[in-house]
C-alpha cells in the first residue's frame, strides 16, 4: 500500500470499511439468503418487506408459520404446500447463536433484545410517525431493507 498515491490509499481504506460494514450487516441479517426463495418473496412480501430469515430464531418462525390465519391481526394463510416449503426454508436460514436461543416476545423481530438495543436512540414517537407507522416498517428508514441491507449508512428517518 505504501506505493499508492495518497488519494488511492484514502479511497482504498474507505472501500474496505464499507465492504466490512456490508459484510457484517448483511451476514447479521441473513440478507443474502433472504432473497432466494421465490415463494417467500411472493407470499411474504406483500404487506411488508420479506424479513431476512436470520433476524429471528427458528422457534419464532415456526410459531409464525403455524398460525398464519391470525397473523398480527390479519389473515395471511397459505395453502399447506407453500406453508410447509416456506416454513422449512425459514427454519433452515433462521438466526443462530445465543441471541436467538429464546423465542422473541410475540415472535417479533422488533421485540427482540438486539433490535431494541440497536434502536435505543429511536424514540417511540418516531416509530409512530405517519411516514413510519411502526417499527416493523423497516423500509421507512432503512432505504435498502428490501435487499436485506440494514447498514447504518443507508438509514434516513422520515420527518
Ligand atoms: C396480508 C398482509 C400480510 C401478509 C401476506 C404477511 N404479513 Fe407478516 N405482518 C403483517 C402485519 C400487519 C404485521 C404487523 C406489522 C406491525 O405491527 O406494524 C406483520 C408482521 C410480521 C412479522 C413481525 C415483524 C416485527 O414487528 O418484528 C413477521 C416476522 C412477519 N410478519 C412474517 C411474515 C411471513 C413469514 C409471511 C408469509 C408467510 C407474512 N408475514 C405475510 C401482515 C402480513
Ligand atoms: C424509525 C426508523 C427505523 C425503523 C422503522 C427501523 N430502523 Fe433499524 N435502525 C434505525 C436507526 C436510526 C439505526 C441506528 C443507525 C446507527 O447506528 O447510526 C438502526 C439500526 C439498525 C440495525 C443495525 C445496523 C448497523 O449497521 O449496526 C439493524 C440490523 C436494523 N436497524 C434493522 C432493522 C429492522 C430489521 C427493522 C424492521 C423490522 C428496522 N431496523 C426498523 C432506524 C430504524
Contact 107, 63 (CB under 8 A): yes
Main-chain phi, psi angles of 128, to 5 degrees: -90, -5
Please provide the average confidence, as pLDDT, over all residues in the chain: 84
pLDDT given at position 85: 98
Q: What residues are paired with 155 via a beta bridge?
A: 142
Question: Could you tell me if residue 64 is inside a domain?
Answer: yes
Question: Could you tell me if residue 47 is inside a domain?
Answer: yes
Residue to substitute in 51, 111, 122 for testing ligand 2 pocket (most ligand atoms within 8 angstroms of CB): 122
Please state, in angstroms and rounded to a whole number, the distance separating the CA atoms of residues 37 and 158: 30
Domain span holding position 144 = 30-154
- Give pTM, 2 decimals: 0.86
Please state, in angstroms and rounded to a whole number, the distance separating the CA atoms of residues 53 and 68: 16
DSSP one-letter string for 83-122: HHHHHHHHHHT---SGGGSSPPGGG-GGGSHHHHHHTTTS
- 30 pLDDT band, cuts 50/70/90, is very low
Question: Could you tell me if residue 52 is inside a domain?
Answer: yes
The number of domains in the chain is 1
Residue to substitute in 118, 133, 158 for testing ligand 2 pocket (most ligand atoms within 8 angstroms of CB): 118
Tens-digit pLDDT profile for residues 50-68: 999 999 999 999 999 999 9
C-alpha radius of gyration, the chain, whole number: 18
Question: Could you tell me if residue 54 is inside a domain?
Answer: yes
Cell of 155: 438509514
Tens-digit pLDDT profile for residues 103-130: 999 999 999 999 999 999 999 999 999 9
Question: Could you tell me if residue 143 is inside a domain?
Answer: yes
Amino acid at each position: 500500500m505504501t506505493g499508492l498515491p495518497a488519494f488511492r490509499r484514502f479511497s482504498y481504506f474507505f472501500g474496505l470499511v464499507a465492504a466490512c460494514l456490508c459484510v457484517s450487516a448483511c451476514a447479521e441479517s441473513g440478507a443474502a439468503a433472504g432473497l432466494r426463495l421465490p415463494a417467500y418473496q411472493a407470499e411474504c412480501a406483500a404487506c411488508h418487506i420479506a424479513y431476512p430469515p436470520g433476524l429471528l430464531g427458528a422457534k419464532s418462525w415456526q410459531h409464525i408459520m403455524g398460525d398464519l390465519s391470525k397473523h398480527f391481526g390479519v389473515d395471511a394463510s397459505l395453502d399447506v404446500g407453500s406453508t410447509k416449503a416456506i416454513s422449512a426454508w425459514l427454519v433452515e436460514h433462521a438466526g443462530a447463536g445465543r441471541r436467538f436461543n429464546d423465542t422473541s416476545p410475540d415472535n417479533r423481530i422488533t421485540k427482540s433484545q438486539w433490535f431494541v438495543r440497536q434502536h435505543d436512540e429511536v424514540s417511540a414517537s418516531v416509530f409512530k410517525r405517519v411516514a413510519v407507522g411502526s417499527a416493523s416498517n423497516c423500509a421507512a428508514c432503512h432505504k435498502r431493507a428490501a435487499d436485506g441491507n440494514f447498514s447504518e449508512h443507508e438509514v434516513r428517518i422520515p420527518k
